[in-house]
Amino acid sequence: DYIVPPAESRRSDWLHDQPKFDRIAAKQLIESMQNGPRNGMFVVRHSSKNLQNYALTLYNDNEFFNYEIVHLNDITYYIDDGPYFESL
């Protein structure tokens, strides 16, 4: 059976929760990475639309995508219709 290795990142590597860190700053951060942007690179930041929610900025196939992460009742996080998670 395959055993999933532990994550090789810290929350501080991908969570940027400063109020002024917007989608432009997220894109610039990913573009500035040492070897350039690579598929799957992402940043989580506060949503510009609703400060209780977060936003995921994701790089894939030379494009950036932004998804709102809804924070429901201080318990659950989800994108679109789920799945639901207890943490980011």
CA dist 16 and 41 (Å) reads 14
* Tokens (6 digits) for 42: 């992402």
Q: How much is the pTM?
A: 0.84
CA dist 58 and 38 (Å) reads 10
Which residues are CB-neighbours of 21 under 8 A, at least 6 positions away? 45, 46
Per-domain residue ranges for the chain? 11-78
Three-state DSSP class for residue 12:
helix
* Whether the bond into 83 is cis, omega within 30 of 0: yes
Percentage above 70 pLDDT, the chain: 100
* For residue 12, pLDDT beyond 80: yes
Query: Which one is the CATH code of 11-78: 3.40.50.1220, 3.30.505.10, 3.30.360.10, 3.40.50.720?
Result: 3.30.505.10
* For residue 16, pLDDT beyond 90: yes
